[in-house]
Chain A
Amino acid sequence: MYISTMRIKYFGIVREVVGSDDIAITPGMTVGEVRALLLDRYPDLASLKSLMIARNQAYALDDEVLGPADELAIIPPVSGG
């Protein structure tokens, strides 16, 4: 059973790929580990031009460690304006 204790938001094409799946993301993981987990579970994401991860509304580096109150967002290539 997967229990995600983190708030994770998906957008655009990532939202369509992931759907309503539960992803086992927990405090203490790094952003890089989250990325690897997503790419492993959804290999199609590797064909996107970019896959950024935001932590508390800021783009995150792969070595950042997740805290329990963090809000994560998976950010496919942006196309505003």
Chain B
Amino acid sequence: MIECKILPTSLSVDDVYQSVVDPTCGGICLFVGTARDHNKGKSVIRLEFEVYESMAEKLLSEIATECASKYGVRRVVIHHRSGPVGITDIAVIIGVSSAHRAAAFDACEYAIDQLKERVPIWKREFLTDGSYWVGTRP
């Protein structure tokens, strides 16, 4: 089972958890990415995420499918915020369930690593003296 969503509202860890619980699975791994208050030595006030929604959902589903085929996990759920995110708010939740814990850990890590490399989502950081798009220049 795979579920990938871009949501403009607060994400819920419990919603993701309930979606990956499975009677055949003894291990559930959840990754939660939150907005932190500093980056490269500067204070961050808030974030905003711009998303190419149709392609992002498509690529998230591809990544989730890869998790299942590479690691044999049973369920993969990925939720990502669009729009403004305050400090400590949740930007992304990845939930994975599998029969045993090793595959769940590995698949969860794979999913967030691939998301950060491939999925068309852009983070804008707001500092005290302005804002900028993260990671645009070498």
Contact = CB atoms under 8 A, between A and B. Distances in A.
Given A79-B122, A79-B123, A81-B33, A57 B137 contact: no
Taking residues whose C-beta sits less than 8 angstroms from the other chain, chain A's interface range is 10 to 19
B121 A79 contact: yes
A32 interface: no
Contacts of A79: 116, 121-123, 133-135
Contact of B112 (A9, A47, A75, A81): A81
Interface string B108-138: 0000100111111111100000000111111
Given A49-B137, A49-B138, A78 B92 contact: no
B120 A73 contact: yes
Given A47-B137, A78-B120, A11 B54 contact: no
Contacts of B135: 49, 77-79
A76 B58 contact: no
A47 to B, nearest CB: 6
Given A75-B52, A78-B119, A80-B122, A48 B91 contact: no
A28 interface: no
Given A11-B52, A48-B136, A80 B121 contact: yes
- Determine the main DSSP class of B at the interface with A: mixed
Interface in B94-113: 112
B58 A77 contact: no
A12 interface: yes
Contacts of A9: 52
Interface in B36-73: 49-52, 54-56, 58
A75 B136 CA distance: 11
B134 to A, nearest CB: 4
B74 interface: no
A80 B119 contact: yes
B108 to A, nearest CB: 12
9 contacts: A12-B50, A15-B50, A49-B135, A49-B137, A54-B120, A78-B116, A78-B135, A79-B135, A80-B120
